[in-house]
Amino acid sequence: MTQAPAKRTFFALGRVENYTDAVFAIAATLLVLDLTTTAFGKISSDAELWHQLGAMWPSFMAFGVSSVLLGGLWVSHISQFRDIARADIVLLWLNNARLLFIVLIPFTTSLVSEYSDYYAGRVLLPVNFFFAMALGIATWFWAASKDGHLLKDEAKPDAPSQTVGSVTALIAGGVTVALSPWLGSWAFLTFAVSGPISGVLQKRRKATPSA
């Protein structure tokens, strides 16, 4: 790897990470725009105001759920990029596509809080989350391909374990989508089950390094 062609092909991660963090931060903050008092109408007593705030509980729930989802997607992004050493043009566009689905989360969240009585209202947030995860996994497979050509050297031995974790998470995301017509956002609890399973699988992988 001579230096000159490297400069032409690869990108330092600094700006990719900055841009990503800013997109996540804005998406997380836009969620609050759904919490609005415009539908309150005229308030003329304390009881009415508490009642109206209480009637907003589906919005608060949706805000909480989406905040946790965005938090999880961000944690998985920084975990992944901890192992990545450099970007190429493919990784840049995979990351851009992933961020497109991050940006959509405030929209699909607003569907949940307004239309959770209908299939589309319940299903589209899990679908959105699934695509964001799928693009995260595509990013990982690309970085780990060709002998881990975009990975840090010290991350390469651990790459198969990351792959197991990614695939388990994606399956959990698919199960969430499948359950969401019945369970709505409760379907995300699938991840409370998949996390420990993934942990066990990753440990078994490490215990059998020759696998």
Q: How far is the CB of 128 from a copy of itself (least distance, A)?
A: 11
Task: Mark residues 121-160: x for contact with a copy of itself by CB under 8 A, - for none.
Answer: x--------------------------------xx--x--
How would you label 52-84 residue by residue, b for 16+ Cβ within 10 Å and e otherwise? Answer: eeeebebbeebbebbeebbebbbebbeebbebb
- Residue span binding a copy of itself (CB under 8 A) among the ranges 108-116, 131-139, 141-149, 170-178: 108-116
Task: Mark residues 2-41: x for contact with a copy of itself by CB under 8 A, - for none.
Answer: -xx--xx--xx-xxxxxx-xxxxxxxxxxxxx-xxx----
Task: Give, in order, the Cα–Cα distances in Å from 206 to each of 87, 125, 143.
Answer: 27, 34, 21
Among 114, 170, 171, 183, binds a copy of itself (CB under 8 A): 114
**174 — alpha (psi -120 to 50), left (phi > 0) or beta?**
alpha
Q: How far is the CB of 23 from a copy of itself (least distance, A)?
A: 5
What sign results for the dihedral spanned by CA atoms 7, 9, 13, 18? positive
Among 62, 84, 99, 132, binds a copy of itself (CB under 8 A): 99
Report residue 44: phi and psi, to 5°: -130, 10
| Residues 123 and 177: beta-carbon distance below 8 Å | yes
Q: What DSSP element (H or E) covers 21?
A: helix 14-30
Q: How far is the CB of 147 from a copy of itself (least distance, A)?
A: 20
Q: Which of residues 38-77 bind a copy of itself (CB under 8 A)?
A: 43, 45-46, 49-50, 53, 64, 67-68, 71, 74-75
Which residue, 135, 200, 205, is CA-closest to 170?
A: 135
Measured between alpha carbons, how far is 136 from 141 in angstroms, rounded to an integer? 9
The binding site for a copy of itself (CB under 8 A) comprises 3-4, 7-8, 11-12, 14-19, 21-33, 35-37, 43, 45-46, 49-50, 53, 64, 67-68, 71, 74-75, 78-79, 81-82, 89, 92-93, 96, 99-100, 103-104, 106-107, 110-111, 114-115, 118-121, 154-155, 158
